[in-house]
Amino acid sequence: MVQTIKNVLKKAEDAYKALFAYRNSPFGIVGLSPAQLFIERRLRSTSTSAPLLKFSGSTHTRELLLQRQMNQYKYHSGKTELQSLNTGTTVMMQHSDNQSYSNRKSWYSSITFISLEDGGYQLQ
């Protein structure tokens, strides 16, 4: 956003008109301008008419924004459901060697023994 403002100010002859146009132009997430989000109406300019100055309502905008955020969280949260392990399943286990100073972690093959109540597993 800062880079956008810098580019607008470099290209504009009148900085105030450029900032006014930026504040009054809608942007991508909810389709409303920064002025509409802040003061809930469009700013008065020579190109707008009176019916356009009215705000359509912030509840719909808020719902739309939350819906988009939930959709983005669903696809980009990085969480996946882990598979449950049955007794006797062979798994790879990472164990840190506490005696070494390098904190290297070694991988070992292990077999699940008991499924614990807290979601963990006891391994052989």
The set of residues, in sequence order, having a beta carbon less than 8 Å from that of 114 and lying 6+ positions away, is 87, 121, 122
In the predicted model, residues of the chain with pLDDT beneath 50 are: 49-50
Give the model's pLDDT for residue 50: 47
Give the model's pLDDT for residue 46: 61
Residue 92, both tokens: 């790879």
Give the model's pLDDT for residue 49: 47
Strand order in the sheet with 121-123: 90-96, 105-115, 121-123
CA distance 73 to 118: 26
